[in-house]
Amino acid sequence: MAASSQNRLAAQNSPPAKPPGLYARLQRFWQRVTEGREIDQLWLQFKTDARASYRLYSRDLAAKSPQASWRHNFWHTLQEFAWAILEKLSPARRVLLLIGIVLLIIPSGGFDFHTRQGEVVAAQFDFHFYGGVVLLLLLTLEIADRVVMKRDLEIARDIQSWLLPASPPPVPGLTLAFATRPANTVAGDYYDVFARPVPGSGEPRFLIAVADVAGKSIPAALLMATFQASLKTLSITAASLAELVVGMNQYACGNSQGGVRFTTAFLAEFDPARRSLTYINAGHNAPVLRHSAGQVERLTNGGLPLGILADAPYQSGSTTLGNGDWLLIFTDGLVEAENSRAEEYGEPRMLNVMQLGAGSTPQELLRRMMADVDAFVGATPQHDDITCLLLKVA
C-alpha cells in the first residue's frame, strides 16, 4: 500500500507530458491514411485500381462504339469515354459534376459595382474554390454509396462463406486442399466435398463438386447459392450421379434466363472401398488426373453446361485411383489469369507446377500454384474468380 501511494504521489508531482510535436502528429496522420503501407505498395495499389477502372469504362465504350479507336478518332473516342464515366452517376450527380468542372475552368476574377453613395466597391469571387466545394460534395455522396454497398457486399460474402466448406473434410484414402479467390467481394465459383449416404450400404460415398456460374459478383453469387441448395437437396436422394446431374440441369434451366446464366460443373462420386471415381463433366475445364507414374489423364466425359438445354444428355466416366495419384480440379479463372501484356497463365504453366510439386502435400502444392499465378500476373487486376481443388491418393 505504501509503495502504491508513493507511486501516485510521484505521478502527481511529475511534470505533464509534452504534446507530440508537429512531425509526430504528421507521421501519425500519414500512418492512419496509408495504413502503414510503403510508397511502392501504394503505387502498386493505385496502378491496380486504375487498370480495373479503365477496363470497366473501356468495356462500356466498346459495347457502344465497337469501331472506336484512340488512333483513328481521338475526339470522338474521348467523348464516348467521358459519357461512359458520366452515365455511372445519377442525373443529379452528373449536374453537380458538370457545375464543379465549369467552376474550375472559369478564371477567378473580380468585378466592380456602385453603392447608393456613389462609392465603387470591388468584389472578388473565387470560382475555383466553389468548384472544389461542389466536387468535394459529389465525392462525399459517392463515398457514402460505396460504404453502404461495401457493407452489403461484406454481408453477402459472409453468407456465401457459410455455403462453402471452411476446411477439407476427412475422406478415407484421400488428402484434400482447396482455395478460392473471388475477382470481386463475392464470387460465382462453388466447391464442396461431402459424404453421401448409399442406400443398403453402411459405407458412404463422397461427392466432389466444383462449379463456375457464368458472370461475376452478385448475380453469379445468387445463382451459386441456388446451385448449392439444389445439389444438397438432390444428394440426399437415392439418385445415381447421372440422375443427380439431370435433375440439377433441369432446375438450372428454370433459373438461367434462357441459357444466359449457365453453369459449368464437374461432379464426381468417390468410393473409398474400391477407390473408384465416377464423374460427369458438364462443360467444365477438364480436370487433370496425374498418375503416380507421371501419365496425365483428362476427365472429359459429360455434356453441356447446366442451364442451357433442359433435356441434354450426360455421359458419365469412371476411373480407378492408385497410390500417389493426383487430381486437380480448377475453374477457368486460374488458366485465364492475365499479366500486363494480356498473356494468359495457361495450362502448360499449371501442369509444370503440378509436375514439380508431385512429391509435396496438397496444401503445399496449392500454395505453390497460387504463388506462381500471383508472380505471373503481377499488378494486373484479377478479372475472373479463381478456384482450385487438389486431392492426392494416400
Span 177-206, pLDDT tens digits: 999 988 877 778 999 999 987 766 667 899
pLDDT of residue 102: 87
Beta bridge partner(s), residue 207: 194, 269
Predicted pLDDT of residue 318 = 94
Q: What is the pLDDT at residue 116?
A: 58
> DSSP 3-state assignment of 101?
helix
pLDDT bracket for residue 123 (50, 70, 90): low
**Residue 216 and residue 366 in contact, taking contact as beta carbons nearer than 8 Å:** no
Which has more pLDDT, 41 or 223? 223
Cα-only R_g, the chain: 30
pLDDT in tens, 77-95: 777 777 777 777 888 888 8
Count of beta carbons in the 10 Å neighbourhood of residue 299? 21
Identify the pLDDT of residue 352: 94
pLDDT for res 106: 82
Q: Rounded to an integer, what distance in angstroms lies between the CA atom of residue 224 and that of residue 229?
A: 9
DSSP strand pairing (296-298 vs 288-290): antiparallel
**What are the C-alpha distances in Å from 293 to residues 98, 190, 233?**
67, 31, 39
Is the predicted pLDDT of residue 114 greater than 80, yes or no?
no
Residue 382 exposure: Cα atoms within 13 Å on the Cβ side: 21
Who has greater pLDDT, 310 or 107?
310
- pLDDT computed for residue 382 by the predictor: 82
- Other residues' Cβ atoms within 10 Å of the Cβ of residue 193: 21
291 vs 46, which has greater pLDDT? 291
Map out the domains of the chain as residue ranges. Answer: 28-88, 91-107+124-163, 164-393
Instruction: Report the sign of the C-alpha dihedral through residues 50, 53, 55, 57, in that order.
Output: negative
Residue percentage of the chain with pLDDT more than 70: 83
Distances (CA, A) of 192 to 164, 167, 343: 6, 10, 30
What is the pLDDT confidence band of residue 343, given thresholds at 50, 70 and 90? very high
For residues 342 and 368, which has the higher predicted lDDT (pLDDT)? 368
Given this model, what pLDDT does residue 38 score?
Answer: 83
Q: How confident is the model at residue 112 (pLDDT cuts 50, 70, 90)?
A: low
Q: Helices (DSSP H) in 110-257: which residue ranges?
A: 127-163, 217-235, 241-253
Q: Are 223 and 188 in contact (CB under 8 A)?
A: yes
Distance between CA atoms of residues 175 and 392, nearest Å: 5
Check whether 222 has a pLDDT greater than 80: yes
pLDDT of residue 85: 76
Q: Is 234's pLDDT higher than 60?
A: yes
Mean pLDDT of all residues in 158-171: 84
49, 39, 32: which is closest to 381 by C-alpha? 49
Q: Of 191, 168, 109, nearest to 361 (Cα)?
A: 168
The per-residue pLDDT for 312 is 92
Residue of higher predicted confidence among 294 and 364: 364
Grade residue 7 by pLDDT with cuts at 50, 70 and 90: low
Output the pLDDT for position 37. 78
Q: Read off the pLDDT band of 109 (50, 70, 90).
A: low
Answer whether residue 176 shows pLDDT above 90: yes
Q: Would you mind telling me the total number of residues written for the chain in this entry?
A: 394
- Quote the CA–CA distance of 188 and 156 in Å, as a whole number: 12
Q: Mean pLDDT in the chain?
A: 83
Tell me the average pLDDT across 109-132: 66
pLDDT (tens digit, 9 = 90+) per residue, 259-290? 678 999 999 999 998 999 999 999 999 999 99
pLDDT digits (tens, 9 = 90+) for 321-341: 999 999 999 999 999 999 888
Confidence tier at 363 by pLDDT (50, 70, 90): very high
Task: Identify the CATH class of 164-393.
Answer: alpha beta
Contacts for 106 with CB less than 8 Å, ≥ 6 apart: 127, 131
**pTM, to two decimals:** 0.71
